[in-house]
Amino acid sequence: MERHLLLISALIALIPAYTSAQNSDGSGITVTRELTGILTSVPEAEASYCHKFKIPFLRGGSPFTVGNNAEVALRGILAPTAVNAAAEAALTPAAFFQLTAGARAGSGWNIKFFGDYVYAIGIHHADSAGRPATDGGPFDGLITKSWAGAALQFDLAAVIPGDWNHVVARSYHEINYTHYTRAGKDDSWWQFEFDYGENRNGPNYYGNLLIGYQMPAFFKMAGLLAEGHLFLTGPKGREAWGDDRVRWTFSLLTQFALRENIDLAALVQTRAMRNFINDNAEDIYYQYRILDTSAPISLRFFRVVAAVTHKL
């Protein structure tokens, strides 16, 4: 999959949390602790713990600077095929602008599920017949990712105050670098959780656009989310199998306040899939597939995601 669950939990964290679930240490630093559990229809599962520190920073008296802050988030993630740790820092120098940087490290193992293998680690290559093959074992390497990004964000309620005026928009863009310690320059490898095995060491682009409406009610939020991922480098001739194209995922997002400190987020996702002229393309190593240039992309149902967040 293009976007795995670790990133979904980070996206859910973009939705403002109840201030009643936060604690201050008396110095103006706000501490938030969250437990998140995620299930999908694929099926997939993930549990994470996040510890956040929000520090007032460069605050002013104008509506654009009164809430300026720096935030540090430390996260531990456990899934049926992987374990990860991540840290991210975010600086909000103005209400409409945010800078982020972070890093993640983890490892995983491969399992057999209903007769099929679920790969979370290992080198993905072609066998002598051109079929997909995997070389790797449990915890046989470390997978790391580092990133830096920026976001522009808007809330109509900042211009027209009112509890029912929270029409929000956020556009985020990042450059990240992924690395698997066992992989060479031209090797492809598997990522955590139900991945396609098309990852390579090197830089990538990721961006998303979120447009939504937030309400002070049980039905807390409804929105649309578009995500794009692009490999910035790759083997010569990668255009043949569509490796130079943006991978798009589109989501209908809803959020519900089950209790004061418990939220449920639900997403219905579709994604743009490449079409190939090969018969039984799934049985062919991905770099041997040929993109159907007459109809290269089709939009297909991806999954339903449910995420429960408990603010401790």
User: 246-268: per-residue pLDDT in tens?
Assistant: 999 999 999 999 998 999 999 99
What's the pTM? 0.88
Amino acid 9: pLDDT: 56
- b vs e for 190-203, b when ≥16 Cβ sit within 10 Å of the residue's Cβ? bbbbbbebbbbbee
Residue from 149, 195, 254, 238 nearest 4 by CA: 195
Rg (CA), the chain: 21
H or E, element range at 5: helix 5-12
Helix (H, G, I), strand (E, B) or coil at 135: strand
Q: Count Cβ atoms below 10 Å from residue 34 Cβ, excluding itself.
A: 22
Share of the chain above pLDDT 90, in %: 67
Residue 128 is encoded by which pair of tokens?
């002598």
Distance of CA 69 to the CA centre of its chain: 23
d(CA 10, CA 35): 12
Amino acid 113: pLDDT: 79
Amino acid 13: pLDDT: 56
Pairing of strands 30-40, 44-56: antiparallel
Domain edges within the chain? 34-46+106-311
Amino acid 175: pLDDT: 97
